[in-house]
Amino acid sequence: MSRPDAPGREVVDGVDVRRLDGYTRHLRRFAADPSHFFHPTCPDPQLVRRLNELVTEVRPDVIHAHGWILNSCLSLRLPPSTALVATLHDYGLVCAKKTLIQGDRLDTVCQGAQLSRCLSCATDYYGRLKGPALALGLHHSRSRLGRVSMFMPISSVVRSASLGEVSPERICQIPSFVADTVFTDAERGVRPAFLPSEPFVLFVGALGEHKGLGLLAEAHRRMRVAAPLVVIGSVRSDTREWTGTAARPVLVRTGLPHQEIMACFAAAAVAVAPSRWQEPLGLVAIEAMAAGTPVVVTRVGALPEVVCHEGTGLVVEPGDAGALAEALDRVVGDPALQRAYGTAGRVQAQRYTASTIVPRILDGYHRAQATTVSSWRV
């Protein structure tokens, strides 16, 4: 979609990039983050028109949609040979909040889409205007999903939550990828001066309760080893201040460049992802493993798919501060275990690199083109 800070068309690394306007650009001024490129759960007529013009011009083999822009792609007039592919990065196909969090109950997974419940939940979250519109748009869009040739959920939890009634022939589970350079970024990065000199625990992610920061704070207080905790991430409305103690300091940093974050991963004794919500994948855990750092995660969402318990790190039950503290103590206090988990983690992370995943996406395109969806040809 169009951006005020970028041209409508340019060539980037040999790729012809088109940025198209839609009516929904006028809604950005009302967003909490006006820089966010928002597409609703219904088609944008202007965007549909411009996409149709582009389809007529280039006659693509595949149209690959990410996120709610799929709702405009479902209204396109496609040539018979063009496949529509949709990657599911979250739960936005079935949840207007994209999280499966009902109300503010972070530790309870929503039991599935039900219109009256979704209307109430979306209204509480977005307000009386935006909430019902998004929930209703999502509800009505489901009748058109037969037009998608291939769905690409990024994990088994996203697949099971979103595609229960879709035939396996139309599903190609492919995780998100990290750049191959994350390995060299971690190896060559200069250790940031603000890091503690002693072994420390590292958290990277959004600084909100859905990421389990309250649980981590309690676990940090309970640890037998007085290891510093380093917290790196983006501030949210529910972010609270942490100071720790002289014996157990907490260092918080925001706005760090990615290469510096990778250097922090490489320096840490252990990385931790104590999430409470159903993580769709867990790229932070993958990047930590790429840096050769063991990872402790909670058994929620796709995190147990990414981290091998007793192989690349440890998996603990969600909400159990004592178990989390024990796991962190075990890794921080055992350098040999850190090396073993770190070595295995680097091997595991190779499964999520662009050089590994992109060929799988291309294979998914071929499968999508070979898939006949009768409702699309109506």
The tens digit of pLDDT for each residue in 101-160 reads 999 899 888 988 899 999 999 999 999 999 999 999 999 999 999 999 999 999 999 999
By the 10 Å C-beta count (0-12 exposed, 13-18 middle, 19+ buried), 136 is classed as middle
pLDDT of residue 23: 86
pLDDT of residue 374: 41
Question: Whats the size of the chain, residue-wise?
Answer: 378
* Residue range 187-196, pLDDT digits in tens: 898 999 999 9
Residue 16 β-bridge partners = 11
Domain 182-352 top-level CATH class: alpha beta
* Residue range 279-327, pLDDT digits in tens: 999 999 999 999 999 999 999 999 999 999 999 999 999 999 999 999 9
pLDDT of residue 378: 36
Q: What is the mean pLDDT of residues 321-342?
A: 98
pLDDT of residue 196: 97
Please, are residues 55 and 20 in contact by the beta-carbon 8 Å criterion?
no
Query: Where, residue-wise, is CATH 3.40.50.2000 in the chain?
Result: 182-352
By the 10 Å C-beta count (0-12 exposed, 13-18 middle, 19+ buried), 75 is classed as middle
Q: Where are the alpha helices (DSSP H) in the chain?
A: 45-58, 70-73, 115-126, 130-141, 156-162, 182-188, 213-222, 258-267, 283-290, 303-306, 321-332, 335-349, 354-370
Q: What is the mean pLDDT of residues 67-87?
A: 96
Q: What is the mean pLDDT of residues 48-64?
A: 97
pLDDT of residue 30: 54
pLDDT of residue 375: 39
The residues, ordered by sequence, that sit 6+ positions from 62 with a Cβ below 8 Å of its Cβ are 82, 83, 84, 85, 365, 368, 369
**pTM higher than the cut 0.85:** yes
* Residue range 8-46, pLDDT digits in tens: 999 999 999 999 989 887 766 655 565 667 899 999 999
How far apart are alpha carbons 19 and 16 in whole angstroms? 10
Cβ-based neighbour number of residue 319 at 10 Å: 15
pLDDT of residue 376: 42
pLDDT of residue 241: 82
Q: What percentage of the chain exceeds 90 in pLDDT? A: 84
3-state DSSP assignment of residue 131: helix
Q: What percentage of the chain exceeds 70 in pLDDT? A: 95
Q: What is the mean pLDDT of residues 205-225?
A: 95
For residue 340, is pLDDT > 80? yes
Please, are residues 365 and 174 in contact by the beta-carbon 8 Å criterion?
no
Phi–psi pair at 341, nearest 5 degrees: -65, -40
The structure tokens 């028109």 sit at 49
pLDDT of residue 338: 98
The structure tokens 């790429």 sit at 290
* Residue range 231-272, pLDDT digits in tens: 999 988 778 887 788 889 999 999 999 999 999 999 999 999
Indicate the CATH number of 9-177+355-377 among 1.10.3470, 3.40.50, 2.60.40, 1.20.120.
3.40.50
Q: What is the mean pLDDT of residues 168-174?
A: 97
